[in-house]
Amino acid sequence: MAPNKRPEPSRADSPVDPEMSETAIAKWRRLTPHARNFLAQASGRQPLATNLRKARENRGLSQAAVAKKLRLSRSLVAQIELANRPVTADELAKFADLYGTPAVDLTGTRVATDDPVTVTLMNLAPALIKQFDMQSRIHGVLGALMATSHLTGLLERPARTGPATYPVSPPRTLADAIAQGEQVADHERQRLSLRDAPLPDIADLCAAQGVPVFALEMPDDVSGMYLADASIGSAIVVNARHDGIRQRFAIAHGYAHAVFEHAGITRAWTRANAKELIERRADAFANAFLLPASGVEATVRGLGKGQGSRQVQWVFDAATERSVRTEERSTPGSQVITYLDVAWIARRYGTAYRLTVSRLLARELISEADSTRLLKPKLVELAGEWVSLFSSRAATAHPGYAISVLSDLNAEHTHMAVEAYRRGLITRADLLEEAVTLSLQVPGLSEAKLLEIAEAAR
């Protein structure tokens, strides 16, 4: 699947004059009353009918299910989607609420205004539009983008066109959504020469592709937004209230919209629309972009795991002209993936522990029973503590200790000591001796804590 370069926006595509004055920039930085106008009237039946059908399919709903939820007849819903019947303003509002899609997106109406902030804000989630302070914050983001675009024009620099886009049809099923997301993530990794390595700073990576990243305080059920307009380019906004790992996933999710969606689209992903197929596709992209299958499998192999309990090999014997079978058994317990193995992979790729368990399950490196075991609350808690202990590679050594390890050696040392103890290769006394040495480099790793981490892995 080859990516298509995003086309340069034409003057006709932009709702505003591209010659942006200081006065226009100032307007971007304050909220306009037009942003409070949410409902737009349809200019014709056919575009609305098509958009209503697509929105319903994206939510994975049948016409009968929609009719039941809205207390309408199925035939009426069908007639509306065939453009044989007009839609009242009240019905349009109900469809928009059910599908989690702004009414202006359903009607396809372009708002006549000289302020592109209004256009963008009217396409955001209704829950955000109702909050005045949220509008002001988003307004600041858009104003910064417009100012940058203005300076780019003054300096006669090439306009940013954003990342490559991939021409795929909207997913019709959850399986489609997952397949598209994972396939495009793999192609995008190859295009960026990332292969199976952990991502660098993902915000910098997105910015280098023409999609800057912002963080705003938003309601907890809002993970992020993707803003795009022909006059300013695009941006990803994540929730400043969320932790760094969750923000990292939200950035990858937003980048998925940048490579899948056409120019000018705006998305907000929340708990309310999490089940939409387009959002599921973005989740699948984020999963594979952050944790590439080949990288996960290579890391597990690097731990000496990922093999079955038996390895069967065949060789052709030329003398007898027969195949000869040989079988080798793994050391008992050596192939068990522990919670610390999961934490090791999560730390390496900068992903959440639960997401890492999910990826291992998807690659059939663990079973469903293993997944249940690894997601026990105590193991999730200890995994988080272990990652926190080694969150900084440039760890501050114990006062008076002359050696500071700046690489992953301390984390690797601890991981291997626990694995050796779990498999009975070293004794409890040996483990505590390792703890004495490690505590000089990692002050938070006491003998009691290392023993607790090790016992939980058994």
Which residues does 332 contact at the CB level (< 8 Å), separation at least 6? Answer: none
CA distance 225 to 234: 11
CA distance 121 to 108: 15
Which residues does 20 contact at the CB level (< 8 Å), separation at least 6? Answer: 146, 149, 150, 153, 231
Looking at per-residue confidence, does 355 or 3 come out higher?
355
Looking at per-residue confidence, does 394 or 450 come out higher?
450
Q: Kindly state the tokens that stand for 370.
A: 């293993």
- Name the nearest CA neighbour of 59 among 275, 220, 234: 275
Q: 388 exposed, middle or buried (CB, 10 Å; 0-12, 13-18, 19+)?
A: exposed
Contact 438, 410 (CB under 8 A): yes
CA distance 228 to 110: 15
CA distance 194 to 197: 6
**DSSP-based helix, strand, coil % in the chain, nearest 5:** 50, 10, 40
**How does residue 104 score in pLDDT terms, banded at 50, 70 and 90?**
low
CA-to-CA dists, residue 451 to 285, 433, 447, angstroms = 38, 11, 6
pLDDT tens digits for range 398-438: 454 444 444 578 889 899 999 999 999 999 999 999 888 88
Q: What is the mean pLDDT of the chain?
A: 79
- Name the nearest CA neighbour of 51 among 89, 90, 106: 106
Q: Kindly state the tokens that stand for 323.
A: 């195949």
**Stretch 265-274: mean pLDDT:** 83
CA distance 124 to 127: 8
Which residues does 251 contact at the CB level (< 8 Å), separation at least 6? Answer: 202, 203, 206, 213, 224, 236, 238
Q: Kindly state the tokens that stand for 202.
A: 């993902």
Q: What are phi and psi of 269, to 5 degrees?
A: -110, 125
CA distance 183 to 387: 30
Contact 324, 408 (CB under 8 A): no
pLDDT tens digits for range 10-36: 333 333 333 444 554 454 444 343 433
Contact 184, 205 (CB under 8 A): no
Contact 290, 307 (CB under 8 A): no
Q: What is the DSSP letter of 165?
A: B
pLDDT at 423: 92
- Name the nearest CA neighbour of 4 among 149, 168, 172: 168
pLDDT at 342: 95
Contact 43, 154 (CB under 8 A): no
- Name the nearest CA neighbour of 279 among 350, 224, 238, 355: 224
pLDDT at 236: 92
CA distance 338 to 382: 12
- Name the nearest CA neighbour of 268 among 237, 244, 245: 237
β-pairing, 222-229 with 267-270? antiparallel
What's the first-to-final CA gap in the chain, in angstroms? 45
Give the CA diameter of the chain. Answer: 89
**How does residue 127 score in pLDDT terms, banded at 50, 70 and 90?**
low
Q: Kindly state the tokens that stand for 15.
A: 């709702």
pLDDT tens digits for range 197-213: 999 889 999 999 989 99
**How does residue 257 score in pLDDT terms, banded at 50, 70 and 90?**
very high
pLDDT at 324: 84
CA distance 125 to 134: 11
Strands (E), 318-366: 322-329
- Name the nearest CA neighbour of 380 among 440, 421, 339, 344: 339
Q: What are phi and psi of 446, to 5 degrees?
A: -80, 170
